[in-house]
Structure 1
Amino acid sequence: MKSLSILALGSAVLLAACGQNADKPDNTAEASATMGDMSGDMGNMAMPAETAKVAKGTGTVKAIDETAGTITLEHGPIAEANWPAMTMAFKAAPALIDSVAVGDKVAFDLALKDGIGEVTAIQKQ
């Protein structure tokens, strides 16, 4: 009888040490079904792409570099980017570059991502 009590006590200690509770059902299968297979190296897990913010500006075309695919604009302040008035080069699609000439007054849209703007639309004023 003494050995049966020791066996019961030992089982209780082992269950407690394993974090199991004899009164609660095993939820391992349920957790697997909801969490999926999460084994392996997750260090290279892709993060969702940041969405570009849109900004609008006006200015003057100062230079066009078709080889580099850029338009240099002298623009007024751009509030959405928190930029003061300045002159800077922006990437732009070839069709947009071809639609303007140096000296043109323009209104333009920028896609802002990671502090960099890319002209997505431009119109002569």
Structure 2
Amino acid sequence: MNHARLTIALGLAALTAACGKKAEAPVATETNEAEPAATMSGDMGNMSMAPDANAAIKAKGHGTVTAIDKAAGTITLDHGPIPEAKWPAMTMAFKAAPSITDAVKVGDKVDFDLSLKGSDGEVTAIAKQ
């Protein structure tokens, strides 16, 4: 039984090392308890936390207004790449408040701010170039 545990612990350590990650402490064979983890030190005040999957991403873009549908509350933009969303240049419709759709017309070149959540996007600010 101890041989099987040792084999599993060594195998997991090898797999973890192969992934470039620090291996967890192996299980001690006599006590069946994990060794204490190493203490973290240093200034971690600048360490960023993983983003919340449900949080909205704020992004900026540049493009041209190709359509406005006030009834549906959308504005269609032919925009350049949007790095924050990892999007290439494309044409797509976004939700937009009436104050946004009233501020521009088809053909206007614009700078805009987006709020992105999942695959949904909303133009939150827009300005003619």
**TM-score after normalising by structure 2:** 0.58
Q: Please state whether the residue corresponding to 1:89 is helix, strand or coil.
A: strand
* 3-state DSSP of counterpart to 1:95: helix
Q: 1:49 deviation in Å? A: 9.0
Q: Which of 63, 73, 82 matches 2:86?
A: 82
| Partner Cα distance (1:85, 1:123) in 2 | 19
Structure whose residues are more often helix by fraction:
1
Residue of structure 2 in register with 1:98 after alignment: 102
Give the Å deviation of 1:114.
Answer: 1.1
**Secondary structure in structure 2 of the residue aligned to 1:103:** coil
Which blocks of at least 5 consecutive residues in structure 2 are unaligned? 1-51
- The corresponding residue for 2:65 is 61
CA RMSD of aligned residues (A): 1.5
SS at match of 1:96: helix
The count of aligned residue pairs is 78
Where 2:100 maps in the other structure, the secondary structure is helix
| 1:1-125 to 2 correspondences below 5 Å | 50-125=54-129
Matched AA of 1:124:
K
SS in structure 1 of the partner of residue 61 of structure 2:
strand
Which amino acid is the alignment partner of residue 114 of structure 2?
Answer: L
Q: 2: distance between equivalents of 1:71 and 1:119?
A: 8
Structure 1, unmatched stretches of 5+, are 1-47
Partner of 1:73, secondary structure, is strand
**1:56-75 deviations in whole A, cap 9, x for unaligned?**
00000000000000000000
Once the 2 structures are TM-superposed, how far is the Cα of residue 124 of structure 1 from its aligned partner? 0.3
Return the TM-score normalized by structure 1.
0.60
2:89 and 2:57 map into 1 onto residues whose CA distance is 19
Q: Match for residue 8 of structure 1? A: none
Instruction: Give the letter for the 1:79 counterpart.
Output: P
Q: Write out the 4+ residue segments of structure 1 that deviate beyond 6 Å after TM superposition.
A: none
Instruction: Decide which structure has the larger Cα Rg and report it.
Output: 1
